Amino acid sequence: MRLVLLGIFLSFGLALAQTPPAQQLLQEAQTLAQQARASGAAPSVDSTPWKQAIERAEAATQADPQSAEAWKLLGMLYYDVKFWARAHDRFNQYLRLTGGHADPKVAKAIGETNLNLGYGAYNRGDSGQALEYFQAATNFLPGDPQPYEWMGRIYLEQGNAVQARQAYQQANQIRPTPTNTYFLARSQDVATYGRAAVRAFTAGYNAYQTGDKAAALAQFQTAVQVAPGWLEAKRWLARTQLETGQTQAALATWQQVTASPQATASDKYFLRVAQLSAQYGADAARAYFEGVQAYQAGNRPQALAHFQAATQANPQFADAWYWLGRTAYEGRNYALAVQAYSQAVALQPDNTQAKYWLEQAKKALR
């Protein structure tokens, strides 16, 4: 019996001797973490140096669950490999032991971990969980407007104007941007146009930003149907209609926009774009306006190429022929100027300017 007990005690003592103390495990984990970061290996839980560092840091937390340093190291390792859920859990253990305090580098990592978890929750459609993560991120990223911007976006989609406005005000205080100012104004629209209209508008704007113009179009149409007097919603509807090739619908919507006393010079510009798109086609109109912009910017070769593209897209486009002639003439390409001005005069016989410059181009060509 004594021999059995002795064997048990010896085995137990051997096991203790083979198990490194918590401090040693932590030091080994710190060394492995430094080696992983210096190795050049992409941070990944499946990459050997990172995997070894994480395993040793996990062992350190198990050996001493009250070691804030071990939990911090483990949280940072999971942060490095972008394993956000585990990083979040380990950072929470660290904060529990430090009373919620973290040094600047760790605080930044905790904030970014919450941001990424917030993105994930939002993309899953769990807005409530996303708000919790973004709210937590604000505690660790005081100089970053992103958590507030996302909170404002979610509150707007929920039709919660008061909290959306507060979130965008916070974002603007940190870093004023046209986008934040824009959505601050949209949050104030809820009182005027109602939650349903603003929710549809916001969803349309978000879809537009991601390139889903079909979804954007449907949402903007809903916003305008719910709030027929909302000029900004009509602007975005008209813009999306034009960009999706619905030229006649876009023309009608831009006409409604420009009929408003609040219409801007930009609205009138887009009405002209819509008119030319309806008359000559979207491709020709787009090339024409790109040519005008290039000409005004002083880039004559680019302007010439755009005007040529416009006339090729629709040979009946008299204004495009006129601008092609003007650009060619100023570039001393008199043969092309004569050809372009001739087409402009043929399409618009009463265009006295085109006639005058046609004669000038002919003289220069002689």
Whether the per-residue pLDDT at 1 is higher than 70: the answer is: no
81-138 pLDDT, tens digit each? 999 999 999 999 999 999 999 999 999 999 999 999 999 999 999 999 999 999 999 9
Does 31 fall in a domain?
A: no
Task: Tell me the mean pLDDT in the region 9-16.
Answer: 44
336 vs 15 pLDDT, higher one: 336
Whether the per-residue pLDDT at 45 is higher than 70: the answer is: yes
The amino acid sitting at 219 is Q
Please give the pLDDT value at position 90.
Answer: 97
Task: Tell me the mean pLDDT in the region 172-192.
Answer: 87
Please give the pLDDT value at position 191.
Answer: 78
Reported as type and span, the H/E element at residue 225 is helix 213-226
Split into its structural domains, the chain has a count of 1
The model carries a pTM of 0.62
Whether the per-residue pLDDT at 284 is higher than 70: the answer is: yes
Does 93 fall in a domain?
A: no
Q: How confident is the model at residue 15 (pLDDT cuts 50, 70, 90)?
A: very low
3-state secondary structure 56-101: HHHHHHHHCCCCHHHHHHHHHHHHHCCCHHHHHHHHHHHHHHHCCC
Does 348 fall in a domain?
A: yes
Does 203 fall in a domain?
A: no
Q: How confident is the model at residue 222 (pLDDT cuts 50, 70, 90)?
A: very high
Please give the pLDDT value at position 317.
Answer: 95
Does 322 fall in a domain?
A: yes
Does 313 fall in a domain?
A: yes
Q: How confident is the model at residue 9 (pLDDT cuts 50, 70, 90)?
A: very low
The answer for residues whose C-beta is within 8 angstroms of residue 60's C-beta and 6 or more apart is 22, 25, 26, 28, 29, 67, 70, 73, 74
Whether the per-residue pLDDT at 40 is higher than 90: the answer is: no
Does 235 fall in a domain?
A: no
Look up the CATH number of the domain holding residue 315. 1.25.40.10
How far apart CA 6 and CA 140 sit, in angstroms, is 55
CA distances from 49 to 31, 60, 77 (A): 11, 17, 11
Whether the per-residue pLDDT at 2 is higher than 60: the answer is: no
| Domain encompassing residue 320 | 283-366
Whether the per-residue pLDDT at 210 is higher than 80: the answer is: yes
Whether the per-residue pLDDT at 19 is higher than 60: the answer is: no
Q: How confident is the model at residue 20 (pLDDT cuts 50, 70, 90)?
A: confident
Task: Tell me the mean pLDDT in the region 294-314.
Answer: 94
